Amino acid sequence: MTKPIIVDSHCHLDFPDFEGEIPDLIMRAQEAGVKRMVTICTRLKNEPLVRKISEKYEPVYYAAGTHPMSAAEEPLASVDQLIKISKHPKMVGIGETGLDYHYTAESAEIQKKSLIIHIEAARETGLPLIIHSRAADDDMGKILKSEFKKGKYKCVMHCFSSSEKLARLSLDLGFYLSMSGIVTFKKSEELRNIFKIAPIDQVLIETDSPYLSPDPYRGKRNEPSYTAHTAEVGASIYEIDYQTFAAKTTENFNRLFSKAVI
């Protein structure tokens, strides 16, 4: 029986964890129904490598930006630089960018500057902004809202695991919340309840692989094929069948990442 089509909207295929295994990873993903995946460049110096992966493998698209945890270590990106990269036919998103005060609070100010640059690039290109937010809800909410008032932009809150307050603010701005393997963990009831308030039209699914493997693979290396396990839990959250949930989240992906539509 053919598996319903789903999309892994966020993975990291250029990471050393997957070296020499990408063809097999993609084969397993396709067998699980994951027909497309977006691999994320987190340091712009690695953009050529990430781009080559997308060029080599038809189901793979890519996004590029400076991860907030790398913001103090990397040259500050420019709007023009991001716009230039975005012209590649398989480059479909800006980021991931954002704020991480859990690990790198000491670089908060440069993270904010980097985030605003990425927002402007998303606004200029029309490509979706991909946000990483950890332990920075107040600043994140303020920046997203104030920048949106300056000019609209599209956005996904990747691997969403923040507060209900930030979830509601993001949804009110028309942004999307992306569901990762975290929702499958037994202790994630609060997060599952937050997703219940999100309109299903504003939800995506992802792995963030090689990190955050869903149950029953928690603690092991994650990979795009495991998107299916997160989707199963997502369907249960919305009390709908897997096929309907897969169709809705794929439709959502197509709407947000319109450049990646087959």
Q: Where are the beta strands (DSSP E) in 76-205?
A: 91-100, 129-134, 155-157, 176-179, 203-205
Give helix 189-197 / helix 164-172 axis angle, nearest 10°.
Answer: 20
Total count of domains within the chain: 1
Identify the pLDDT of residue 28: 98
Backbone φ, ψ for residue 58 (5° rounding): -55, -40
Task: Tell me which residues of the chain have a pLDDT lower than 70.
Answer: 1, 262
Q: Does 1 fall in a domain?
A: no
What lies within 8 Å, CB to CB, of 32 at 6+ separation is 3, 6, 224, 225, 226, 227, 228
Please give the model's pTM, rounded to 2 decimal places.
Answer: 0.97
Domain of residue 143, residue span: 6-260
Q: Does 203 fall in a domain?
A: yes
Q: Does 54 fall in a domain?
A: yes
Rounded to an integer, what distance in angstroms lies between the CA atom of residue 144 and that of residue 146? 6
CATH of the domain at 17: 3.20.20.140
Identify the pLDDT of residue 1: 65
Identify the pLDDT of residue 151: 98
Identify the pLDDT of residue 260: 95
Which tokens in the block code for residue 74? 């990397």
| Cβ pair 94, 128 in contact under 8 A | yes
Q: Does 49 fall in a domain?
A: yes
Rounded to an integer, what distance in angstroms lies between the CA atom of residue 108 and that of residue 142? 14
